[in-house]
Amino acid sequence: MKGAEAAAQNRLVSTISNTYRKILLNPSYKYLLLLLGAPVNLVVFLIYWIWRRKDPSTQAEERIHSQLVESGALIKLRADIYEQEKRKAAFFKRTADERQLQRQAERIADVQLRELVKEQAAKELKLSGQQRLSMADTFERLLQHPLFLAASFIPGLLMYILIFLYSNPYMKYIFERLVMTVFVIFGVAFLVFTILYLSPFNPAANILGQTATADQIAAFNRIHGLDQSYWVQLWNNIKGIAFFDLGRSFSGNEDITASIARKFPITLTLALISLIVAVAIALPIGIISATRPNSFFDYTFMFVALIGLSIPNFWQGLILILNFSIKLNWLPATFNPANWLSMIMPVIVLGTSLTASVARMTRSSTLEVINEDYMLTAKAKGLGKQTILMKHAVRNALIPIITVIGLLFGGMLGGAAVTEKVFNISGIGSYIVDKQFIPDIPAIMGGVVYTAITISLINVIIDILYAFFDPRIRSKMKQY
């Protein structure tokens, strides 16, 4: 019982110290680790510094260095390098200053000497079976004492969390991906705010009208914080986005976050339904086209897909309204969340270009996979046509398709503004467009940034799911 416990603890210690060693070799994580565990690292460094003096490698290095200098190796090295430099300058027809050459030769000779010393010292140590002490070694030796582990646990908690994340490749990947996303979101907020801040328009004058006095404009600016400096406004807006409180809109005096929260689900629902419909139509079409390349089906489907890519959303919406609402009177022309019939036309319009792109992508991706060697193997094994297609071809072809779907979904959320205007849907897109005439800075910023956040999160989820489902990515990640 006790043995098992000890073994578990040993394993823990060796994992921690191994990861610590690995992180110290990583140029970007190194500083993060040193910073997060600053108190612990300081202690480790002090001990390392003390132990270092008694280290056999330091002594050996010093001895070899003095030996080399005494035996005249340094002077010979300098002369050799000086000769080389001179010949190099002559070859490239460069006129070089004598003193400068000398100095350069000395510098290079010093570097080479240091390397030589290190090499010889390492050889000597290897012969005697010893090793050069490093910071990681010190940490490992210290960790062997349970007392150190317990004492360092609280001050080095952040560092241990980092070590834990780093020790598991999935965790590390997810952590990095999330950090990137947070960075991107702040970048988006900064960018959008800066663009709107640079605007030459004056929202106060636009809302209060030409007759507004200077006092009125100043009061308006004070209420909405427009008289503050750039950094203060930026900080307030980023804080507002993080805590879902963007204040009140310039015109109409409505709570912006509440409006966005009311309108966003409508856009998202429509986009999701169109996405599902589009994928359900596009995947079979793409697969059929790929299995019969250059056939009549293939040409027809791809031609229709190309037309679908070329139709502007708003025109398609207008034509649908003209035919199905005005002429045939089958479907309502404006959107109403309570009436599912009114959802049909917006879903078709939103999904058309997505269907077209996904069908084209599915075709090309499946075609590529069909010519792979493992398809031949599967055929040679005598598997049925259906099994080969579904299990071997489509499963492998799906990976790039899902990435494309993720990216296109983002475009769909952004491009929904036009469709929403045509069908009079009160979604986030038409909200942003309505607010831009003023321009209502916090409202536009909230709309754009929350859309960007949604898209980034969707892409993160897709990326992370890949890491779990695709064996190729999984094996690549283990090495990283």
Q: Which of 31, 49, 230, 315 binds another protein (CB under 8 A)?
A: 315
Q: Which of 457, 452, 449, 450 is nearest to 196 (CA)?
A: 449
Find the shortest distance in angstroms from Cβ 158 to another protein. Answer: 24
Q: Find the part of the chain contacting another protein (CB under 8 A) among 31-39, 164-172, 224-232, 301-309.
A: 301-309
Q: Which of 135, 432, 442, 446 binds another protein (CB under 8 A)?
A: 432
Find the shortest distance in angstroms from Cβ 197 to another protein. Answer: 8
Residue 321 interacting with another protein (CB under 8 A): yes
What HEC string does 413-457 produce? HHHHHHHHHHCCCCCHHHHHHHHCCCCCHHHHHHHHHHHHHHHHH
Residue 326 interacting with another protein (CB under 8 A): yes
Q: Which of 39, 146, 225, 312 binds another protein (CB under 8 A)?
A: 312
**Residue 213 vs 329, nearer CB to another protein:** 329
Q: Please state the separation of Cα 253 from the chain's center in Å.
A: 37
Q: How far apart are the first and last CA of the chain?
A: 36
Within 10 angstroms of residue 408's Cβ, the number of other Cβ atoms is 18
Alpha carbon distance 213, 219 (integer Å)? 10
Biggest alpha carbon–alpha carbon distance for the chain:
104
In eight-state DSSP terms, residue 295 is S
Alpha carbon distance 40, 139 (integer Å)? 10
Find the shortest distance in angstroms from Cβ 95 to another protein. Answer: 17
Find the shortest distance in angstroms from Cβ 358 to another protein. Answer: 14
Q: 3-class SS at 261?
A: helix
Annotate each residue in 165-194 with x if it binds another protein (CB under 8 A) or - if it does not, as one string.
Answer: ---------------x--xxx-xx-xxx--
Residue 403 interacting with another protein (CB under 8 A): no
Residue 418 interacting with another protein (CB under 8 A): yes
Q: Which of 69, 195, 258, 390 binds another protein (CB under 8 A)?
A: 195
Annotate each residue in 212-241 with x if it binds another protein (CB under 8 A) or - if it does not, as one string.
Answer: ------------------------------
Find the shortest distance in angstroms from Cβ 138 to another protein. Answer: 30
Residues ≥6 apart with Cβ < 8 Å to 16: 143, 160, 163, 167
Find the shortest distance in angstroms from Cβ 267 to another protein. Answer: 12
**Residue 28 vs 479, nearer CB to another protein:** 28
Q: Which of 421, 463, 467, 477 binds another protein (CB under 8 A)?
A: 421
Is the Cβ–Cβ distance between 430 and 260 less than 8 Å? no
Classify burial at 270, counting beta carbons within 10 Å of its beta carbon; exposed 0-12, middle 13-18, buried 19 or more: buried
Residue 199 interacting with another protein (CB under 8 A): yes
Report the half-sphere exposure of 401 (CA within 13 A, side-chain side): 29
Query: Crossing angle of helices 256-291/428-435, nearest 10°?
Result: 130
**Residue 156 vs 308, nearer CB to another protein:** 308
Q: 3-class SS at 298?
A: helix
Reported as type and span, the H/E element at residue 233 is helix 230-242
Residue 322 interacting with another protein (CB under 8 A): yes
Residue 287 interacting with another protein (CB under 8 A): no
Binding site for another protein (CB under 8 A): 180, 183-185, 187-188, 190-192, 195-196, 198-201, 306-307, 309-315, 318-319, 321-322, 326, 364, 410-411, 413-415, 417-418, 421-422, 429, 432-433, 435-437, 439, 444, 447-448, 451-452, 455-456
